[in-house]
Amino acid sequence: MRIRTYNVGFGDFFIITKGSDSLVCDCGSVSKPAIEMEKIVSGAKKSILDSSLVKKALITHFHSDHISGFKQLSKKHSKYFDEVYIPYLTTTDRKTGRKVLLEAAFFMYLVLDKKTLSHVLAKNIIKSIELCLSLSSSNKVRLLSEGDSFNIGSRKFKVLWPRKVIDFPSVLVSKLEEVEKAFRGSEFLALKDNFISLFAELTSDLSGNATRAHMETIYDKMTKVLEKASDTEILTRKLINDVRSILSKGRNTYTLFSRSNNSTSIVFESIGCIDSVLMTGDIEKDTTDLIKFSLPKYWVVKAPHHGTENHYSLNLPLGHNILISSEKHKKYGKISTAYQKYTQKVCTCDNKNCDCAVPCMLGTCLTNPSFGHCDLSLEFGIKNKLKLDARELIGVDMGSGLYS
């Protein structure tokens, strides 16, 4: 098994290969220009994915720094993957029974200005099934939750998170309740409930044997619900202003919404004799404390949320190798110094964004523009070998051997 980490700045793009099968785990960036990201994805497609017999995609959650590359790929190479995995999106709040993530997405997609971060995230979630169907060649889209599993070649991976019922931030739940009060007596609330019901029906069909025609019928109904809900006779300017006022009060709504999205990230593991792997998406610190990891230490651990300090948890298992896909970001701060205790770091960031007393091992920082990605080969257990490869930049086939 091999894990390739691509340098996409502040974002994630990993490819896990086993035999002739490949899994793209997230593909996006918020710091790389679209044209540069397109070149990176195109290079990965030519060097690995096109030659894979089975191609799968996994979206841990729907922030743009995890899906922007998938959006580009779907436009140029529709139906490219054999199967697509996404998180269980109809997650229910334990205390209220509300489907908080979908409800928040529905309100913010229709009410907030299109330039706001909350609207962008809401759109990613509302349009998630459309994106997945455009990526999958056979309509195979699975919503994963705790206890599910999937394979890459002969290797089995177990899903540790998300759970179908979790505790969403109480402040966000309270805001949604206030928004509902503002819409009381309006047809808008019935349309919201109808949309969530159709979304749940569609995602259920994706896991079953529903025909393409049946799924298209449901999706058409969802589209019509959104169109009707945006009608100015229902969604008046006064209602829009009232709801925007509610959402702007108190704690930052985007932070709450964003954290809720992170908290439903897919976390998955694979346990081998020695070459165990743990992939964490952008899981929140308090969520990490709830996950039942199989091991206290893995061979490879992907750092949650780009290795940032406020997402590090003491309950995160140790690892011989830590994968950090990051870049300086004005909002999230530096990489946690706690990752110094991991034996070897594969980090796409330079030393301007960390305070590590011990530098990354020679050859593991992807700071040189000649290096587009880094491979970790897990084929030989403890004889782990690493390669920094410039072939996609200079167009030279450097062979498949790994440097010791």
Mean pLDDT calculated for residue range 288-306: 94
The pLDDT score that the predictor gives to residue 315 is 95
State the pLDDT confidence band at 359, using cuts at 50, 70 and 90. Answer: low
Which run of H or of E encompasses 220? Answer: helix 212-229
Q: Over the stretch 197-256, which tens digit does the pLDDT of each residue have?
A: 999 988 887 766 667 778 888 989 999 999 999 999 999 999 999 999 999 887 789 999
Instruction: Please tell me the distance from the alpha carbon of residue 24 to that of residue 300, in angstroms, as a whole number.
Output: 16
Mean pLDDT calculated for residue range 62-73: 96
* Separation in Å, CA 80 to CA 36, 55, 75: 20, 8, 10
Q: Is the pLDDT of residue 347 over 60?
A: yes
Tokens of 278: 């743990």
Are the CB atoms for 70 and 27 separated by under 8 Å? yes
At a CB cut-off of 8 Å and minimum separation 6, what does 395 contact? none
At a CB cut-off of 8 Å and minimum separation 6, what does 345 contact? 321, 322, 324, 339, 360, 361, 364, 365
Q: Over the stretch 322-346, which tens digit does the pLDDT of each residue have?
A: 898 888 777 877 888 888 777 677 7
Q: Is the pLDDT of residue 388 over 90?
A: no
State the pLDDT confidence band at 386, using cuts at 50, 70 and 90. Answer: very low
State the pLDDT confidence band at 154, using cuts at 50, 70 and 90. Answer: very high
Instruction: Please tell me the distance from the alpha carbon of residue 178 to that of residue 138, in angstroms, as a whole number.
Output: 41
Instruction: Please tell me the distance from the alpha carbon of residue 264 to that of residue 162, in angstroms, as a whole number.
Output: 5
SS3 390: coil
The pLDDT score that the predictor gives to residue 138 is 81
CA 49 vs. chain centroid, Å, equals 19
